[in-house]
């Protein structure tokens, strides 16, 4: 059984991070009981690309996305979602603009409008 060890990603070198990603992909592939050849075929990649990432070598971001898609791991990219936050000042302005009551339409003003004749 593999231990869940939190990594201090900041202290890792780029190559160590790539190796960790490759090991993660390898473990997920094995959990799915897929061969490197089958994963490559399903992802539309060469088997050598799968070998590269699993050996800690660099691959393109597009290839990584294709691999994650086949392994049903695209949810890992949720971390990249940008949430718009309203500043406290903007929130107050929005609250000031909020309607507090309904108004009756001014029928006299509507009768005087130019109808374009």
Boundaries of every domain in the chain = 9-80
Is CATH 1.20.1250.20 correct for 9-80? no
pTM of the full predicted structure?
Answer: 0.66
What does the pLDDT read at residue 1?
A: 45
Provide the greatest CA pair distance for the chain. Answer: 84
Summary mean pLDDT of the chain:
86
Going from the C-alpha of 57 to that of each of 21, 61, 64, 89, 104, the distances in angstroms are 10, 13, 12, 48, 70
Both tokens of 40, joined, read: 């490559």
Residue 113 predicted with pLDDT over 60: no
């Amino acid at each position: 059984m593999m231990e869940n060890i939190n990594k201090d990603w900041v202290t890792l070198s780029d190559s160590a991070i790539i190796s960790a990603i490759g090991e993660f992909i390898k473990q997920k592939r094995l959990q799915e009981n897929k061969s490197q050849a089958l994963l490559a075929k399903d992802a539309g990649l060469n088997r050598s690309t799968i070998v590269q990432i699993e050996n800690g070598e660099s691959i393109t971001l597009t290839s990584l996305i294709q691999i994650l898609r086949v392994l049903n791991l695209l949810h890992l990219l949720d971390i990249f979602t940008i949430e718009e936050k309203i500043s406290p000042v903007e929130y107050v302005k929005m609250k000031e603009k909020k309607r507090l009551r309904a108004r009756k339409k001014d029928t006299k003003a509507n009768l005087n409008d130019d109808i374009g004749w």
